Structure 1
Amino acid sequence: MFWPLVLPFQITIGLLSAIVLLSPMIASVMNWKRRKTFLIFTLLSLLAFIPSCALIATITDHFRFGLFEYENYAEVKDPGVHLYLPPGATKISLNKYASGYEAKYKITESDFHAYLDGLWEEYGQLSVIKRKDRSGEGLPVQEEDFERFHSLDWQPLANASLFHSPVQGNGGGARYYYDSKAGMVYQQTAYW
């Protein structure tokens, strides 16, 4: 849940620690008292921590979240995405955000079903909802089911059926809208 804050926190701690640790050198160059300079820099770092962390989060989020394009699975370097993205996916569009992502990609029917069956074989016993208990599994979906994708200008798939991944205890999992005729998947993924 708090994973998006880890990187900005680490960068902020590193930068502010470096400034505080360099304060005695700065004091020597400026001909200030070292102890007093160290204390002032320490207090200023404590006061600047939250604003600095927020600024660094804003900057890093620009590079971590948003819409990204990839030719294939190997180009995607995000381990959170790899958990629910089939290795056979190509022409991948990802809309990443802190608690998950939406994806659009091409994949063959055999690759898609082999991947999904493999997920259920490996993680199905850990799923809080069993595969047989999923309502609508493999059934056609309606156009209104694609409303989440309208902001991305992804047109509804004409012949899509709904599939699900195993569901983690914290609610993480994926919903797949697969159009076997087009060989296209729209995917909604949530993780904490």
Structure 2
Amino acid sequence: MPFLITCIVMIFFLIIGLVRSNGEKAKVVVVCSSLILFIPSCTAVMFTVDQFRYGRFEYASSLEMPEDGYIELPPTAQNITLYRNGAGHWAKFSIEASALMEWIEQMRALRPGLNTDVDDDEWVSNAIPQIQAEMGKLYAEEFANRFPETGWQYKPSMKRYYVSRSARGGGFRVWHTSKSGTAFLNASYW
């Protein structure tokens, strides 16, 4: 988007500069100036636009969120805290376990070939205590890495789910605590 905005603005000023300039030398200066100023202009536009589209946002429900084609959250999500950046988004929200599972199954159904071997880590609850403890440590590390600088804390009672949306590995992970109804989602864009 910043590139497109910069192109439109630069073409506008280039046309005005060429129409108003007298002589070949002035036209060459206008064209060269436009080329030299393109990258700094694009950077300035990108910085300005990013102030509005990236960062931390809060919504009472997913109905209040703007639709942009990238952010995927359950339609029944409430009390949403959303962090956006150019590579993905992180969200914390409230949702009942049954509504979350219904949404996860709908998302998996969009790309069934990529979501065929999903076990949602059910095997961990049936594993021996030593394996459960090791997996708990790994899950806590993964959670901390996926939600840096948010202050959100991993709890051993969380269930972890994965939805693959791209054959290249893009998708999202969801951690959910049934008791509190709190869910955490980490999505990567592809």
Residues 81, 68 of structure 1: CA spacing in aligned structure 2 closer, same or farther, 3 A cutoff?
A: same
Map of 2:161 onto structure 1? 163
Question: Which of 81, 91, 116 is residue 71 of structure 2 equivalent to?
Answer: 81
Gaps in structure 1 of 5+ consecutive residues: 1-6, 28-32
Map of 1:174 onto structure 2? 172
Aligned counterparts, 1:94-133, within 5 A: 94-125=82-113, 127=114, 130-133=115-118
Cα displacement (A) at 1:76: 1.5
Map of 1:51 onto structure 2? 40
The alignment status of 1:70 with 2:48, answered yes or no, reads no
In the superposition, the TM-score normalised over structure 1's length comes to: 0.82
Map of 1:154 onto structure 2? 152
Identity of aligned residues (%): 27
For 1:88 and 1:107, how far apart are their aligned partners in 2? 7
Please give the per-residue CA displacement for 1:50-95, whole angstroms capped at 9, x wherever unaligned: 111111111111111111111111221132003xx11111111111
Residues 159, 135 of structure 1: CA spacing in aligned structure 2 closer, same or farther, 3 A cutoff?
A: closer
Aligned length in residues: 176
Amino acid at match of 1:136: D
CA contact (8 A) 1:95 1:103 kept: yes
Amino acid at match of 1:96: R
Amino acid at match of 2:176: Y
Amino acid at match of 2:86: A
Question: Which of 11, 36, 39 is residue 5 of structure 2 equivalent to?
Answer: 11
Q: Report the aligned-residue RMSD.
A: 2.2
For 1:37 and 1:90, how far apart are their aligned partners in 2? 59
